[in-house]
Amino acid sequence: MMSSKRFRGIFENLLFVWLGLSVVLLLGGQNLVLPNWLQIIGRSHPLLLHFPIVLILFGVLFQWIPGIDNNADLKNFGELSLLVGVNFAGLTVIAGLILAQEDYSGNTFDLHQYSGFGVFILGALFYFFRNLPKTYLKATSLVLAIGITFTGHWGANLTHGEDFLLAPILQEEVPTLAINDAQVFEDVVMPILETKCVGCHKEGKIKGKLRLDHITGIQTGGKTGPFVVAGNLDESLMVQRINLPLEHDDHMPPKNKAQLTDEEKKILVNWVLAGAEFDKKLIEMEPESEFFKLASLNFDESDNYNFEEADPSTVEELNNFFRKVEPLYPGSPALVVSYFGIAAFDPSSLNELDKIRTQVVQLNLNKMPLAGTDLSILQNFINLEELQASFTDLDSEQILSISQIPSLKDLSISGNKLSEKSLDYLSGMSDLRNLYLWETGLSDDQQKQLSSTLKYTNVEFGFDSKKVVYELNPPLLKSEKDMFGDSTLLEINHPIPSVEIRYTLDGSEPDSINSLKYEAPFWVKKTAEIKARAFADDWKGSPEASTLVFKAGNPPKELKLLTQPNAIYFGKGNLTLIDQIKGKPNHTSGEWLGYQDNHAEFVITLAENQKPKEITISLLYNEGAYIFPPTQVEIWQGDGSNWNKVIDEKPLQPKNIQPTRFEALTYGLPETDFDQIRVRLKRIASLPPWHPGAGSKGWVFLDEVSLLE
Amino acid sequence: MEKEILEHGLGMNRRKFLSRLSLGVGSAALGSLLIPDLFSGGKPNEDAIMDALPHFAPKAKRVIYLFQNGAPSQLESFDYKPLLRANMGMELPASIRGEQRLTGMTSGQDSFPLVGSYYDFEQYGQSRAWISSLFPHTASVVDDLCIVKSMHTEAINHDPALTFFQTGAQVGNRPSMGSWLSYGLGSENSNLPAFCVLLSRGKGNGQGVYSKLWSNGFLDATHQGVQFSNSEDPVLYLKDPESMSRAERRKMLDHLAEMNELNFNEFNDPEISAKVAQYEMAFRMQTAVPEITDVSKEPDSIVKLYGPECLVPGTYAANCLLARKLSENGVRFVQLYHQGWDQHGNLPNEMALQAKDVDQASAALITDLKQRGLLDETLVIWGGEFGRTNYCQGQIQADNYGRDHHPRAFSIWMAGGGVKSGIVYGETDEFGYNIVENPVHVHDFQATVLHLLGIDHEKLNFKHLGRRYRLTDVSGHVVKDILV
């Protein structure tokens, strides 16, 4: 027979074993990999836990028996009970920690876990320090008893559900959004009042003696009358007040406060019409009633899918770079399918989705070229709730197929031109929650009619561009070459493809009627300033855009500069003007000659048999950089000693600073015998008073001179 | 002697205690056998991600974040404070300013004169929200917005504040919000990156943005933000090299992948497979990106909606349009930055220019998503890194003044994606200096954004250098009041 002391010794030692094991499990628990057989120990937790509760409470109770210290047997019995109880507590903790691997978490779980461990430690300490003065022990015993009680309570909450114990006496106030549980007043009407009305009609701030923060107040009404009268819109002050115009003094909510949305207004009004119910459940209301239809929109049914999950390998097979098939959220049987990549779209791939036709709840086909694709297969997708098929070239046949999808709630087919027939099919879809019809070519009347037919659908027609009139951006002119020998190809583009572009070749401003209409790139054969504007219905015509193309004539024998350009803008000297390279708009590009200190003057010696009829001088204007048109252009013909002045002109001077631009000044030459041409361009001697540099000398910039025969 | 009495009382002495303790240590060793990686790594990351994902259908699938870099003034946009105008030039009471740390730019000022908005405010929409006359288009969509007037942050200078907003920490090297989403949710469209970045610059005083803001930090390189530029190549290095055909390119990539696989089999370095995946995605992006950046298939009315500027590449309007196109093609997180909101001086002028840049296009984005049925699944966010002071920086004039940085209260707005529409959340005091109702910390904001996408911000973490990191660091609460 084992002595009682030896028995105790074993149990005391065992306490340390449990302690060590439980500490390890507690610290490393999250990373535990469980062999199956250990799970059995874990699952014995709900059995084991009864022992420590009883034994420890029983052992602790002995501390309170008066005169216990004088009765050795009784005392021994109590201590033994405590020791065995604490050992069971250790075992229970270990089993519990193993069980915890099976997906437990949350606040209650943490409380239970740590308080359970605490009870075990405290119990052990209590046992080892059992000879301390009575007062300490009594206090500790109370703590221990309370600890055990709460640990047990939290544990019960974990297995039986939150507040299992107190449920019969607790008011359940967890808001629920499942449509089957929703209350007419609590969950539909009150939330509206709470956000928009209660702020001013509540205890401590009872405006108009009306309290809306509890049912009695709502049923009683305020200073001027009843808030609601069931079924009677005229006598319900709420209905009157919310329907007054915003500017009216009695309008509610007051003008400067957050207003009711149209939907909220409708719900409140229809609630009164339907009898201003306070106690009914939403599903008890007439399902065809306006109130039910409006109210039910706000309750999510999407999380109640009870169909079977698709085979994961099927789902994986259906996934590729251009089609994503994934669950609505991890673990949900509902699937979301999205197509990407217009170029890679294969219409027949829709048929592959037949394998998951029960599971697909959302399908995104936006922008896929669906023209001619048979969509009747979608009718088999019995749980499909959301279909996005914007900009997909749908025809009425396809709309018909879509309208027959049984569970469809949200449909976006923006960007598809709708025929009368399509519109008819859509009119029949009264179960839709949202319908998106932007850019579908519907007239205002058609829009109005559809909205009134689909009473319970939020139909979105989107941005109406006709009400906005902007100026178009100028078109972009691009010539193959700025300076050409024989001809150059000119292309005019606009970022908005549907605009009409009109242009002129003579420097006049293009208009939308008489000017040439741009169809395709065209060839330009002579020096010209091409101006273009873009026009479109519902837009203001664009500002004009222009470009200058420059025909290079035959090169002369020689060009000699009589005055020297500024040393900084010297280019390639005299060659600059006959190198047939058009300068860039930037005057510092090195392709320009710039004159400020003196006028530009040069002499051209013609090649043999060269008989030019025209001379063109290419210039740069940029008032911001002090570069102005020449104030005077003089041209002489001659043979080196005799000069005959044939041109003396004064180009038009600007009146303000304009953007940088090119200019080509062309002058006809009389058909007399000559072999030299002298040109003088006078730079502006004193900038005009409106210019920031008023009074100082301006510049003349030129880059090319060409002679045309 | 005392010791012996105690030991006797306990039925225990040191030797006994230690010998018994050894039993405990032994059992600890036994226990560790059950936990193979107790002293090594943690759970694989996939499991950690699964833990963080929702058990309900998330409201938002994608985010477009219109970051107004430089910190737009809340007092000239969404936080209407008539008192400041009435008390123009009067001293900010010390009791209001409290212990607020000031930047070096105004800490030397011996006076802090209050300055009211140069621009008038009006109430709009059913929500009766106050919006300044600088944002007429935004005002027209106010019933789709949730304006939060009670944002606050910790940093008082641009770079730390910006980094804080984007990565949850003031010092760089952490993953950006978009990277976290890419890591948690993956890509929706496998032909495009999950995280794209678009930059634009206004005419106002600007502050830099750096690529660290869209860095993947310690996350896998595939989660890095991809910057789209406004040049002819929106994505750099995407074109086939000169004189190499698409077919040749394919062949080259196949061979490269084979070689990489050999290497991977030998070294098991996950960076190798990440690289292969990126090459493959780049190849698919060669067709996907031109499809998206092509504006020519957009209806004409789009230009009217976003404003003609949207046709000029690189502008904010063009980026908003591009953001919509990326987002509808399954890019999880599109991050825009518009620079130029740092109005220390010349505020009335510069702010008007900045507002003109962004107002129409921001509102257009909301309308555009809405008319396609995409707004309810796309979260749009508009806001800067902090607010601006209610007192004047520098010389105060009736029509010209400046405002310094202010971290204690500022306004942002959100729209779509599971956020309540047509509400104004939070309130500041009548000086617009302190929050008096419903403060929202940057980490709260981040927690809320993650929540809307179905992610538990406390669980989405990544172990790096021995500790677990998350976007919200060690704080942050979901702002439940603004959720649908």
pLDDT digits (tens, 9 = 90+) for B310-325: 888 889 999 999 999 9
Give the position of tokens 């939060």.
B148
User: What totals of helices (H) and strands (E) does chain A contain, helices first?
Assistant: 16, 26
Task: Compute the distance between CA of residue A564 and CA of residue A613 in angstroms, rounded to an integer.
Answer: 27
What share of chain B in percent tops pLDDT 70?
Answer: 90
CA geometry: angle A328, B478, A154, nearest 5 deg: 85
Instruction: Indicate whether A669 belongs to any domain.
Output: yes
CATH of the domain at A565: 2.60.120.260
Residues of B within 8 A of A21 (CB-CB) are: 27-28, 30-31
Q: Please, what is the average pLDDT of chain B?
A: 88
CB contact under 8 A, A414 and B372: yes
Q: Find which of A361-365, B186-190, B295-299, B398-402 is predicted with most confidence, using mean pLDDT.
A: A361-365
In this predicted structure, what is the pLDDT of residue B53? 79
Residues of A within 8 A of B27 (CB-CB) are: 16-18, 20-21, 24
Task: Choose between B73 and A285: higher pLDDT.
Answer: B73
Q: Same domain for A575 and A685?
A: yes
3-state secondary structure B57-87: CCCCCEEEEEEECCCCCHHHCCCCCHHHHHC
Q: Which of B146, B189, B425 to mutate to test the interface with A (most CBs of A within 10 A)?
A: B189
B246 close to A (CB below 8 A) = no
**pLDDT, tens digit (0-9, with 9 covering 90-100), for B351-409:** 999 999 999 999 999 999 999 999 999 999 999 999 999 999 998 988 899 999 999 99
Q: Are B13 and B7 in contact (CB under 8 A)?
A: yes
Q: How close is the nearest chain B Cα to the Cα of A684, in Å?
A: 35
Task: Compute the distance between CA of residue B129 and CA of residue B383 in angstroms, rounded to an integer.
Answer: 17
**What is the block-wise mean pLDDT of chain A (709 residues), using blocks of 10 residues?**
76 88 80 74 87 88 81 85 91 88 76 90 88 84 90 83 66 48 83 84 78 84 86 87 87 86 86 85 77 72 76 92 90 92 91 94 95 93 95 95 94 95 94 94 94 92 86 89 88 87 92 92 91 90 90 89 94 91 89 94 91 92 95 90 91 92 90 89 95 94 91
Q: Give me the half-sphere count of Cα atoms (radius 13 Å) on the Cβ side of residue B295.
A: 25
Task: Compute the distance between CA of residue B61 and CA of residue B184 in angstroms, rounded to an integer.
Answer: 12
Give the chain B residue nearest A335 (alpha carbons): B57
Instruction: Indicate whether A515 belongs to any domain.
Output: yes
Residues of A within 8 A of B330 (CB-CB) are: 324, 338, 340
Q: Same domain for A425 and A452?
A: yes
CB-CB: which of B126, B284, B311 is closest to A259?
B126
CB-CB: which of A20, A259, A322 is closest to B24?
A20
Instruction: Indicate whether A485 belongs to any domain.
Output: yes
**pLDDT, tens digit (0-9, with 9 covering 90-100), for B430-466:** 999 999 999 999 999 999 999 999 998 988 989 888 8
The band of B40, judged by pLDDT with boundaries at 50, 70 and 90, is very low
Q: Same domain for A510 and A431?
A: no
Residues of B within 8 A of A324 (CB-CB) are: 188-190, 330
Token couple for B472: 């919200």
Q: Same domain for A567 and A671?
A: yes
Q: Same domain for A581 and A492?
A: no
Q: Domain residues for A589? A: 553-708
CB-CB: which of B38, B304, B305 is closest to A31?
B38
Break chain B down into helix, strand, coil percent, rounded to 5. Answer: 40, 20, 40
Q: Which of B301, B324, B376, B483 to mutate to test the interface with A (most CBs of A within 10 A)?
A: B301
Instruction: Indicate whether A435 belongs to any domain.
Output: yes
Q: Where are the domains of chain B?
A: 2-34, 45-239+293-482
pLDDT at B56 over 80: no
Q: Same domain for A392 and A451?
A: yes
Task: Compute the distance between CA of residue A41 and CA of residue A59 in angstroms, rounded to an integer.
Answer: 26
CB contact under 8 A, A436 and B372: yes
Task: Compute the distance between CA of residue A188 and CA of residue A280 in angstroms, rounded to an integer.
Answer: 11
Interface ipTM: 0.84
**pLDDT, tens digit (0-9, with 9 covering 90-100), for B78-106:** 999 999 999 999 999 999 998 888 888 88
Q: How close is the nearest chain B Cα to the Cα of A474, in Å?
A: 11
Residues of B within 8 A of A329 (CB-CB) are: 53-58, 454
Q: Same domain for A662 and A626?
A: yes
CB contact under 8 A, A463 and B299: no
Domain B45-239+293-482 annotated CATH 3.40.720: yes
Q: Same domain for A131 and A208?
A: no
A291-305, A526-540, B182-196, B224-238: segment of lowest average pLDDT: A291-305
Token couple for B237: 């290095």
Q: Please, which residues 68-107 of chain B have a Cβ atom closer than 8 Å to chain A?
A: none
Q: Same domain for A488 and A421?
A: no
- Number of structural domains found in chain A: 5
Instruction: Indicate whether A70 belongs to any domain.
Output: yes
Instruction: Indicate whether A307 belongs to any domain.
Output: no
Q: Please, which residues 393-432 of chain B have a Cβ atom closer than 8 Å to chain A?
A: 422-424
Q: Same domain for A561 and A544?
A: no
Give the position of tokens 């200073």.
A223
- Number of CB atoms found within 10 A of residue B171's CB: 11
In this predicted structure, what is the pLDDT of residue A302? 52
CB-CB: which of A25, A324, A439 is closest to B31?
A25
Q: How close is the nearest chain A Cα to the Cα of B94, in Å?
A: 31
Q: Are A595 and A703 in contact (CB under 8 A)?
A: no
Q: Same domain for A316 and A452?
A: yes
Q: Same domain for A230 and A282?
A: yes
Q: Find which of A189-203, B147-161, B237-251 is predicted with most confidence, using mean pLDDT.
A: B147-161
